[in-house]
Amino acid sequence: MIRPKIRRLPVVAAVVALALGITSCGDSGGSSGDAGSQDLGKATIVLGGKVITWAPAYVAVCEGYFKDHGLDVDVTVSPQGTTSAIAGLVSGDALAALTGAPPAVAPIREGAPVQMLFNANLGYSVQVVGSEKMLAAKHITKESSLEDRVKALKGETVAILNPGDSIDQLLRFVLPKYGLNPDKDIRMLALNNYSNMFAAMKIDKIGVLAGSPPNGNQAESQGIGQILFSGDEFAELKNYPYLVGSANTRELKSDPDKIKALVAGMGDAMKLLRDDPEAGKPCLRKEFADLDQKTFDAAYAATVKTVPDSPLITPEVFKALSDFAAAAGKPLGVDYEKAVAADIVKEAIG
């Protein structure tokens, strides 16, 4: 088994990277990315955050699936969230940026050379966590109704990663269902990363935080809060493409074999996780060794249930994204053909 090469970029390096470039994407070559082909060289993919819901990417590196298709992938984690991940993609520093769907659509709408490639997570895997102090003050328990749990957010400061991110959009979708105005009844505070969120909750600077697994599970295990609700409690979000991989359109044209190898490797990892969910567990455990076993098991179990049947973002899946954005008051402003590089994905998965 090939151990994943996961590295975190220091903040200063990330800032410099936006202007100067952090790493080469390798020899652009022209050979096929199929197994047994010539070496396609190295490539960097950057994650908008280190969350367990990126299981297919971690497994694809760990199990050697990218290398099976001729591509040596180096995974980096953006220290400044999805904003710098997308910036690295636009500047050409990364072959792909792996982020939530909303930040992936934003640069496409603004005319940047970006298209979404694949979907890695179906459903809305955001866990909204209330602090123990807030829960006690509002008499909320796990047995409280979903309506009461949502309404408990009124008057609270809610930590998000960045304005317009998946947390922001979930709150704009959910709160109006229960008579709350996300711009008036809560205060969203962008804290850029989960470490800042946890630190703020521990000193009572915020009453609520939210994020992808394992962050909600981890807050519970640390005793600083409880999961109030999660996006997967809303049936209309069942087919929502929560996490997507995006590519630079210049790379799509100049080096399609690398892109196809990337998609094929992700597809292989998704198949493993669907067919034999336990098989990916050792790879993920290495990446999240700091989690206690109970937290890891809960987050992993929730994650494997969200792995899609195919990496292809279908028109139906895109419609779920578009409908959600409209309901949240943030219309996508782009159509399927402009947003999704479907043809090259179809070629990659056969």
Question: What is the bridge-based pairing of β-strands 127-131 and 208-211?
Answer: antiparallel
Q: Are residues 341 and 246 in the same domain?
A: yes
Per-block mean pLDDT, blocks of 10 residues, the chain (350 long): 40 35 33 57 94 95 97 92 89 94 92 96 94 97 96 98 88 96 97 93 97 91 94 92 96 96 98 96 96 93 94 96 89 96 96
* CB-count exposure of residue 285 (10 Å: 0-12, 13-18, 19+): middle
Tell me which DSSP letter residue 79 carries: T
Domain boundaries, position 209: 127-237
Q: How much is the CA Rg of the chain, to the nearest whole Å?
A: 19
| Domain at 146, CATH number | 3.40.190.10
Residue 244 to residue 311: CA distance in whole angstroms: 9
The model carries a pTM of: 0.79
41: left (phi over 0), alpha (psi -120 to 50) or beta: left
Is residue 286 a contact partner of residue 4, using CB atoms and an 8 Å limit?
yes
What pLDDT sits at residue 49?
87
Residue 347 to residue 350: CA distance in whole angstroms: 5
What pLDDT sits at residue 162?
86
**Does residue 1 form part of some domain?**
no
Number of domains in the chain: 2
Q: Are residues 253 and 301 in the same domain?
A: yes
Q: Are residues 233 and 244 in the same domain?
A: no
Last residue in a domain, options 188, 216, 237:
237
Is residue 71 a contact partner of residue 258, using CB atoms and an 8 Å limit?
yes
Q: Are residues 252 and 267 in the same domain?
A: yes
What pLDDT sits at residue 37?
58
Q: Are residues 26 and 116 in the same domain?
A: yes
Q: Are residues 159 and 251 in the same domain?
A: no
What pLDDT sits at residue 30?
31
**Does residue 53 form part of some domain?**
yes
What pLDDT sits at residue 79?
82
